[in-house]
C-alpha cells in the first residue's frame, strides 16, 4: 500500500510524517524506516525507527531512490513501513510525471514485498495527477 500526503509547502506534512513514524514505531511488529533529506528530523523521530538521510547515500533521482529502497529492504526483511518525507527533495526531481512513475513502481514494490509506504510531497490535491489522486 502506498499513501500520499499531498499538501502545500508549509502546511504541516513533515509534522504528520513525524507523528505517523513515531506511532508506527510503537505499534508495528516489524521495523519502521523514515527517509528524509538532511538531519532536521534527528530529534523528532523515535529511536525505535530508523531515520536515514539520503544525502549520505548519493540518491539523486527516482531510479536511484527506488534502488535505495530495495537495498534497504534487502538488508532487513522485517521492514513493514517506510516513510518518505518531501519526495521531490529526496529524489532531487520535482517533475510530477517522474513522481507518478515512481509512485506506481513503489506500489508494485509494496505489493510484492508487503511493505507499506507513506510519502509526503508538496502539491495541490485538487490539481494532482490521476496517479497521485489514486493514492491520496
Q: Where are the domains of the chain?
A: 2-134
Region for 63 from its dihedrals, namely left if φ exceeds 0, alpha if ψ lies in -120 to 50, beta otherwise = alpha
Share in percent of the chain as helix, strand, coil (round to 5): 45, 20, 30
The pLDDT tens digits for 30-58 are: 999 999 999 999 999 999 999 999 999 99
* Model pLDDT, residue 20: 98
Q: How confident is the model at residue 1 (pLDDT cuts 50, 70, 90)?
A: very high
Task: State how far the Cα of 106 lies from the Cα of 4, in Å rounded to an integer.
Answer: 11
119 DSSP β-pair partners:
4, 84
pLDDT exceeding 90 applies to what percent of the chain?
Answer: 99
Q: How confident is the model at residue 89 (pLDDT cuts 50, 70, 90)?
A: very high
The pLDDT tens digits for 10-25 are: 999 999 999 999 999 9
* Model pLDDT, residue 42: 95
* Model pLDDT, residue 119: 98
Task: State how far the Cα of 113 lies from the Cα of 34, in Å rounded to an integer.
Answer: 17
Superfamily of domain 2-134: P-loop containing nucleotide triphosphate hydrolases (3.40.50.300)
* Model pLDDT, residue 14: 96
CB neighbours (10 Å) of residue 46?
Answer: 15
CB neighbours (10 Å) of residue 61?
Answer: 13
* Model pLDDT, residue 63: 97
Task: State how far the Cα of 111 lies from the Cα of 61, in Å rounded to an integer.
Answer: 22
The pLDDT tens digits for 62-73 are: 999 999 999 999
Task: State how far the Cα of 19 lies from the Cα of 1, in Å rounded to an integer.
Answer: 19
Amino acid at each position: 500500500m502506498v499513501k500520499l500526503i499531498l499538501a502545500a509547502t508549509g502546511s504541516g506534512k513533515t509534522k504528520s510524517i513525524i507523528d505517523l513514524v513515531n506511532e508506527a514505531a510503537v505499534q508495528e511488529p516489524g521495523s519502521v524506516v523514515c527517509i528524509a533529506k538532511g538531519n532536521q528530523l534527528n530529534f523528532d523521530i523515535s529511536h525505535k525507527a530508523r531515520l536515514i538521510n539520503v544525502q549520505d547515500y548519493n540518491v539523486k533521482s527516482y531510479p536511484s531512490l527506488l534502488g535505495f529502497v530495495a537495498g534497504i529492504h534487502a538488508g532487513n526483511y522485517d521492514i513493514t513501513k517506510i516513510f518518505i518525507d518531501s519526495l521531490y527533495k529526496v529524489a532531487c526531481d520535482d517533475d510530477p510525471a517522474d513522481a507518478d512513475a515512481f509512485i506506481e513502481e513503489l506500489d508494485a514494490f509494496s505489493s510484492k514485498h508487503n511493505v507499506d509506504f507513506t510519502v509526503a510531497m508538496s502539491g495541490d490535491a485538487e490539481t494532482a495527477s490521476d496517479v497521485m489522486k489514486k493514492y491520496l
